[in-house]
Amino acid sequence: MKQTTLDVCKRGERGRVTEVMGEGALQSRLAVLGLRAGEEVTLLRVSPLKRTYLVETRESVFALGREAASCVRVRL
Amino acid sequence: MRAGAAVSGAALQTSDAKGRGRGGRQLKEAAEELLLLGNPNAGKSTLFNALTGGHARVGNWHGVTVTALEGEAVLGGRQVKVCDLPGVYAEEGLGMEERTACELIMGRKKGIICLVSECAALYRSLRLLSSLAEGRRAVLVLTKKRQFLRRGGRLEEDALERLLGIPVVSAEGLSPRALRERMAEALGRAAVPRSEAFGGEGGLPGVYAPARAGLTKLDAFLLHPAAALAVFLLLLLAAFWLTFAPFGPGGLLKGLIEGLFAGKLYALAQAIPSPVLRSFVGEGLILSVGGVLCFLPQIGMLFLFLTLLEESGLLSRLAFFTDGTLSRAGLSGRAVFSLLMGFGCTAAAILSTRGLDDRAMQRRVILCLPYLSCSAKLPVYLTLASSFFPDPFLAALLLYVLGAGLSFAVLLFLGGERGAPFVLEFAPLQVPALRSTLKALCFQLKQFIMKLGTVILAFFIASWLLSSFDFSFRFCAVEESMLAHICGGLEWLFAPVGMKDWRIAYAALSGLVAKENVAGALELFFPAFPYGARSAFALAVFVLASSPCVSAVAAAAREVGLRRALLYAAMQTGSALFLCYLVYFLTGGLHYALPLFVIAFLLLFFGRNFRAGIHRRRGNVAQKLHRRA
């Protein structure tokens, strides 16, 4: 079980969110989409340039830029 | 474009709703008000159109509606004011339009909240309702139920209604009339939702079971970068072929209309005895109007492609793939929507940039949008193209690629990094609904024809009048006319590119009013374009790079302020002239171009450093985001 941020994960890895850092507005948006502490998250795809991540949560499927992805700590 | 009336705080627009027809009477304050609240892409604008008969823009991606839109509906015999809002995820909005919507909801305390929610996203919609609209009367409208059921979700509407204490309407599959009836009935029973309904993580047992999440098979295939690229290139090629190929539908229909106007109708006009009237009807009306109208099928094809792209949901996938490249140019994947819309209409694309949650990025997008040739430039390109490229398909391709390249160059020159984080929900892939696609297409075509019948026609008539009569109102040749005297000085504008002719300058500058005017003015003055390939190409480049039309500048003024918008317009037109000269020299022989090349290179090089110097050090963006709230 290792702790890491979402932007260094590999395609297909699944884990649980431990913490979402960042500004309040970003935290709200990510929380609404399902990235909250304790929720499950799966990394579906990574874009070719490794700048965009396709993420699946209980709530929805969405794309995340690298800056936002680096704010999400997960435990795999 | 829809006429707008900016109100302080939230910017509101009145839609061209049918309900307004009755004597245009103003809505009294006492009438009921319905506020459409919900996540982006939930179906609010579709509901708005069904209730009010309006033409709010719809598309299958998150962020179509960027300003509030008001309309009137007649529900159950009562007049109801309906307000379509941009999508909201949470009270603390991440984007500019989200915050606008929240402000509006908080401000309009007397309105009934109509929560519009996709069946799959019911939990977060209810949470949104509880955070934004505590203690207010509400109604729930559920959308996209078929998709939800297909993916394994379950929902009992009556039980949900009992549990929440507010009326629930499932909108899918209902005709607009049936929907209005259901809504009228629901409005009568609107109530304050029960607080137990927004319970904890337990969900809504027995009433609602969420659908299976994850990627569909089609998505899994499309999200392979190679597959995605192939599909996109294929679509692009298909769009180009349908629009520009001489034997494709676009080209053939154009030939038909052209034959009708320039052939039959013009021949009929020759029978008119009076020379003044003959010239007016023949050149002033038939040739110039016909010269622009014949492009209607091709413009239609272009809009069809864009509409299909919007309606299918492919744009979200495109944004996912292009986000990386775009961020190198200082934009984010979200900008891809506005950029693509720029190929349809620059003004509409500029208005859509409000969905970008970063003012600096918005300004850069607005600056580079005009280089992505809007559909109104199509007539000009194709009219000039026959002079420099026998195949209109290749000519159009060349000009579009040149435009995209210029756009990218401008972005790189401007530098800057994207400030706001990129978060974009994936809209579900769907086959574009025939009805909404046709509706959107007809709307665009209607706008084009209306524009043709008003602004453009007025311009042609004015041009014909000024160019056919001299100052003593005698019917004369073009060289002695009023226009020749007024615009004579302009002949130097394009002299360096081999066209020392005020008529060319006049035609080119008429594009500032509406781009279609250029094609029409060229038709009016030159039945056959007399200048060679190099000049034609240089003129096309000028039109490509010059400031967009007045409506686009007005849209830009709404977003970035009048002074800046005018500054952009002046800069773009000036640089367009420079580019026009440069291209002419380049195609003539490189030795002429060398000094200009050097100047251009120096500008680019110093421009970068100049900007880096005055650019405040923004620091690591990630670091900035890690700042605790």
pTM for this model (two decimals):
0.83
> Does residue B187 sit in the same domain as residue B245?
no
With beta carbons under 8 A apart, name residues in chain A contacting B629.
Answer: 22-24, 27
Q: How far does Cα B445 stand from its chain's mean position?
A: 14
> Residue B112 is part of a domain; what is its CATH number?
3.40.50.300
Q: Is residue B195 part of a domain?
A: yes
With a pLDDT cut of 70, the percent of chain B lying above it is 88
pLDDT (tens digit per residue) in B234-259: 998 898 888 888 888 888 999 899 88
pLDDT (tens digit per residue) in A5-42: 988 999 989 999 999 998 888 898 999 998 999 999 99
The neighbour count for residue B419, using CB atoms within 10 Å, is 17
Quick one: pLDDT at residue B201? 56
Mark yes or no for CB contact A52/B121 under 8 Å. Answer: no
Q: Is residue B463 part of a domain?
A: yes
Q: In degrees to the nearest 10, what's the CA dihedral of B390, B392, B394, B397?
A: 150
Grade residue B311 by pLDDT with cuts at 50, 70 and 90: confident
> What secondary structure letter does DSSP report for B197?
G
B216 touches A: beta carbon within 8 Å: no
Residue B162, domain extent = 4-209
Cα A45 to Cα B224, B230, B386, distances in angstroms: 9, 18, 46
With beta carbons under 8 A apart, name residues in chain A contacting B121.
Answer: 59-60
Q: What is the least distance, in Å, from the CA of A76 to any CA of chain B?
A: 19
Q: Is residue B364 part of a domain?
A: yes
Look at chain A and report how many structural domains it folds into: 1
Residues whose CB falls within 8 Å of the CB of residue A66, separated by 6 or more in sequence, listed in order: A7, A50, A51, A52, A53, B622
> Residue A31 is part of a domain; what is its CATH number?
2.30.30.90
Nearest Cα neighbor of B63 from B339, B355, B336, B338 is B355
Look at chain B and report how many structural domains it folds into: 2
Q: Is residue B621 part of a domain?
A: no
Nearest Cα neighbor of B475 from B278, B287, B271, B272 is B278
- Find residue B115's DSSP bridge partners: B37, B140
Grade residue B13 by pLDDT with cuts at 50, 70 and 90: very low
- Stretch B452-468: mean pLDDT, rounded? 89
Residues written for chain B: 629
With beta carbons under 8 A apart, name residues in chain B contacting A52.
Answer: 320-321, 323-324, 333, 422
Mean pLDDT is lowest, of B235-239, B307-311, B524-528, for B524-528
Q: Is residue B623 part of a domain?
A: no
Most B CBs within 10 Å, among A23, A43, A53, A58, to test the B interface: A23
B421 touches A: beta carbon within 8 Å: yes
Is the model's pLDDT at B514 over the cut of 50? Answer: yes
- Stretch B323-340: mean pLDDT, rounded? 88
Q: How far does Cα B527 stand from its chain's mean position?
A: 33
Mark yes or no for CB contact B425/A48 under 8 Å. Answer: no
- Which of A26, A50, A59 shows the shortest C-beta gap to B625? A26
Cα A68 to Cα A44, B148, B402, distances in angstroms: 16, 29, 34
Nearest Cα neighbor of B39 from A1, A29, A27 is A29
Q: What is the least distance, in Å, from the CA of B421 to any CA of chain A?
A: 6
> Does residue B167 sit in the same domain as residue B252?
no
Residue A62, domain extent = 3-75
Residues 593-622 of B with CB under 8 A from A: 621-622
ipTM of predicted assembly, 2 dp: 0.94
Residue A54: closest CA among chain B residues belongs to which residue? Answer: B320
Nearest Cα neighbor of B38 from B108, B105, B109 is B105
Q: In what order do the strands lie in the sheet with A72-75?
A: A3-5, A72-75, A14-20, A40-46, A52-57, A61-65, B423-425
> Does residue B468 sit in the same domain as residue B566?
yes
Is the model's pLDDT at B12 over the cut of 70? Answer: no
